[in-house]
């Protein structure tokens, strides 16, 4: 069935939305609401005839989504009349319950709400997005697409933390992984780019944005990923620490009396690039590095060192790698990170071509040398399109 899919990504303090044609990938309209609950709320809406850009306080997610629908109706047709064939909702945590896109009914909403203990900032916001959208668009199917679903296939050796099994089970502790929609989409595009069946390939995908994660994918199925029970584990990120010795948490609590909430704030919002250099945005970091700032240089080095460790681990976990793909704002744009994270790996059959790596492009492209046994690609991610396609496929087959 043709028509557009409304994709809603209702995050902890923002809501992103898109109207997209799943077949053609045509983006009909898209927008963003930011700083929900703060005095300087902001909405931007791009549509075929122009741009709406307003600053106004937005009390909560419910008000935010209603505002989106009002503005869509104000500048064009109300969404109910705009030929929307389905609504795709990004849901962060599917726990052990959801392993694939799922048609939403009241029971599914209740299960997503029940999983809030695992994602306290995200799942409640996802639930509100779903509730308001179902009220406003009651006649179209709504589909939940889970960030964790692609990693449902992780072997037990990769998903199990080596802690007391009873404690782990009682608290639903395992590696779930996140950014799954992106890792699945990008690995599929990488295989298509190479003209190969995903079943034939050992892949590493590096999703490097504000949040960052790596995955090892064998024959189209994820066998390991760097994020864990929460999106805090793994690579160095804009404001998140990624891997640390868990003993640091105990030490901070015992030695400096920091509370759990203070440590949560430290590791999620005041660590990573920001904690090391004062800035979380990679472009700002590079400007500081260029200006000779030593803290920024160390932050860059720590970021790249961690990335190289994961790449090495995943090459071994996979038993060799056919293709390494960079995606996300940093992975798609940052020449230095791509070069430095794979530098000196010629003996492993991995060679980035300097000229290809430095050529600017928004397209899917190969940046490895012709002599490189492993293909190195840059593939722009498109989670919204992947969600729209997943929703369409579930509803219309
Ligand atoms: P999110 O995880 O919020 O979706 P993105 O994937 O948009 O984040 O990535 C944001 C990051 O990408 C920021 O650190 C930003 O500085 C970086 N980035 C975006 N464009 C460029 C660029 N041209 N060069 C270097 N870094 C970039």
Pair (126, 205) in one structural domain: no
Ligand 1 and 303: CB distance under 6 A: no
> Considering the domain boundaries, does residue 191 fall inside one?
no
Pair (129, 63) in one structural domain: yes
Give the angle subtended at the CA of 155 by the CAs of 207 and 234, to the nearest 5°: 35
Query: Which one of 121, 146, 171 terminates a domain?
Result: 146
> Considering the domain boundaries, does residue 219 fall inside one?
yes
The pTM for the full model equals: 0.95
> Considering the domain boundaries, does residue 127 fall inside one?
yes
Instruction: Take residue 370 and report the two structure tokens written for it.
Output: 């012709």
Pair (123, 217) in one structural domain: no
DSSP secondary structure letters along 150-166: GGGG--HHHH--SS-HH
CA of 211 to the centre of ligand 1 (A): 10
pLDDT band at 181 (very low <50, low <70, confident <90, very high): very high
pLDDT band at 351 (very low <50, low <70, confident <90, very high): very high
Pair (261, 367) in one structural domain: yes
Q: What CATH number should be reported for the domain holding residue 133?
A: 3.30.420.40
Pair (78, 211) in one structural domain: no
Give the pLDDT of residue 1.
62
Pair (214, 340) in one structural domain: yes
Ligand 1 and 11: CB distance under 6 A: no
Ligand 1 and 283: CB distance under 6 A: yes
Ligand 1 and 282: CB distance under 6 A: yes
CA of 27 to the centre of ligand 1 (A): 20
> Considering the domain boundaries, does residue 224 fall inside one?
yes
Give the pLDDT of residue 397.
83
Query: Which one of 77, 111, 146 terminates a domain?
Result: 146
Give the pLDDT of residue 2.
73
> Considering the domain boundaries, does residue 317 fall inside one?
yes
Instruction: Take residue 313 and report the two structure tokens written for it.
Output: 């681990």
Is pLDDT at 317 greater than 90 in this prediction? Answer: yes
Give the pLDDT of residue 4.
92
Ligand 1 and 330: CB distance under 6 A: yes
pLDDT, one tens digit per residue, over 225-256 is 999 999 999 999 999 999 999 999 999 999 99
Pair (141, 230) in one structural domain: no
Instruction: Take residue 208 and report the two structure tokens written for it.
Output: 């490097």
CA of 12 to the centre of ligand 1 (A): 19
Is pLDDT at 31 greater than 70 in this prediction? Answer: yes
> Considering the domain boundaries, does residue 152 fall inside one?
no
Average pLDDT of the residues of the chain: 95
Give the pLDDT of residue 203.
98
Pair (107, 226) in one structural domain: no
Per DSSP, the three-state class of 1 is coil
Pair (234, 303) in one structural domain: yes
Is pLDDT at 78 greater than 90 in this prediction? Answer: no
Ligand 1, atom 19: closest residue by C-alpha = 329
CA of 101 to the centre of ligand 1 (A): 27
Query: Which one of 108, 127, 146 terminates a domain?
Result: 146
Q: Please tell me the least confidently modeled range out of 77-81, 155-159, 197-201, 334-338.
A: 77-81
The mean pLDDT value for 272-296 works out to 97
Cβ count near 359 (within 10 Å): 12
Q: Where are the alpha helices (DSSP H) in the chain?
A: 61-75, 106-114, 123-136, 156-159, 165-170, 180-194, 247-256, 260-269, 272-277, 282-290, 294-318, 328-333, 335-341, 354-358, 383-396
Q: Yes or no: say if 226 and 233 are a contact pair by the CB < 8 Å rule.
A: yes
Tokens 């994820």 belong to which residue? 222
Give the pLDDT of residue 71.
86
Pair (142, 202) in one structural domain: no
Q: Say which of 40, 139, 147, 322 is annotated catalytic.
A: 147
pLDDT, one tens digit per residue, over 188-211 is 999 999 999 999 999 999 999 999
How many domains in the chain?
2
CA of 261 to the centre of ligand 1 (A): 28
Q: What secondary structure letter does DSSP report for 42?
A: E
Pair (127, 270) in one structural domain: no
Give the pLDDT of residue 218.
98
pLDDT band at 295 (very low <50, low <70, confident <90, very high): very high
Give the N- to C-terminal CA distance of the chain in Å, as an integer.
9
Ligand 1 and 209: CB distance under 6 A: yes
CA of 395 to the centre of ligand 1 (A): 33
Q: Is 23 a catalytic residue?
A: no
Q: What are the Cα distances from residue 165, in Å, to 117, 174, 251?
A: 19, 10, 24
Ligand 1 and 13: CB distance under 6 A: no
Pair (135, 211) in one structural domain: no
Give the angle subtended at the CA of 177 by the CAs of 21 and 361, to the nearest 5°: 50
User: Residue 113: which domain range?
Assistant: 4-146
Ligand 1, atom 22: closest residue by C-alpha = 333
Instruction: Take residue 236 and report the two structure tokens written for it.
Output: 């160095």
Exposure string over 319-346, b if 16+ CB within 10 A, otherwise e = eebbbbbbbbbbbbbbeebbebbbeebe
> Considering the domain boundaries, does residue 84 fall inside one?
yes
Q: Which residues pair with 205 in a beta bridge?
A: 215, 325
Ligand 1, atom 23: closest residue by C-alpha = 333
> Considering the domain boundaries, does residue 188 fall inside one?
no
Ligand 1 and 211: CB distance under 6 A: yes
């Amino acid at each position: 069935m043709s028509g557009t899919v409304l994709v809603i990504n209702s995050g902890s303090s923002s809501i992103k939305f898109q109207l997209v044609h799943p077949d053609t990938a045509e983006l009909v309209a898209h927008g963003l609401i930011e700083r929900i609950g703060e005095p300087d709320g902001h909405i931007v809406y791009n549509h075929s005839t122009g741009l709406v850009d307003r600053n106004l306080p937005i009390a909560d997610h419910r008000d935010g989504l209603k505002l989106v629908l009002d503005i869509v109706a104000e500048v064009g047709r109300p969404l109910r009349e705009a030929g929307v064939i389905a609504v795709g909702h990004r849901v962060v945590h599917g726990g052990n319950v959801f392993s694939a896109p799922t048609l939403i009914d009241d029971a599914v909403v209740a299960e997503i709400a029940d999983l809030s203990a695992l994602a306290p900032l995200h799942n409640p916001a996802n639930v509100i997005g779903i509730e308001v959208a179902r009220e406003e668009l009651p006649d179209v199917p709504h589909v939940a697409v889970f960030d964790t679903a692609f990693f449902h296939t992780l072997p037990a050796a990769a998903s199990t933390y080596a802690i007391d099994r009873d404690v782990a089970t009682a608290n639903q502790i395992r590696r779930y992984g996140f950014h799954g929609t992106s890792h699945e989409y990008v690995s599929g595009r990488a295989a298509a780019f190479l003209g190969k069946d995903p079943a034939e390939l050992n892949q590493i995908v590096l999703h490097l944005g504000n949040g960052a994660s790596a995955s090892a994918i064998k024959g189209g199925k994820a066998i390991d990923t760097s994020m864990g029970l929460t999106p805090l584990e793994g690579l160095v990120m804009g404001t998140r620490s990624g891997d640390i010795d868990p003993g640091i948490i105990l030490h901070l609590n015992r030695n400096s009396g920091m509370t759990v909430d203070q440590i949560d704030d430290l590791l999620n919002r005041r660590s990573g690039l920001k904690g090391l250099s004062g800035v979380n945005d990679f472009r700002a970091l590079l400007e500081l590095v260029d200006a000779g700032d030593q803290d920024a240089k160390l932050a860059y080095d720590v970021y790249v060192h961690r990335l190289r460790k994961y790449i090495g681990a995943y090459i071994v976990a996979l038993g060799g790698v056919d293709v390494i793909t960079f995606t996300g704002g940093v992975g798609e744009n940052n020449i230095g990170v791509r070069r430095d994270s794979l530098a000196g790996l010629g003996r492993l059959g991995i060679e980035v071509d300097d000229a290809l790596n430095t050529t600017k492009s928004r397209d899917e492209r190969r940046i490895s040398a012709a002599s490189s046994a492993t293909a190195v690609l840059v593939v722009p991610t498109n989670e919204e399109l992947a969600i729209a396609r997943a929703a369409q496929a579930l509803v219309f087959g």
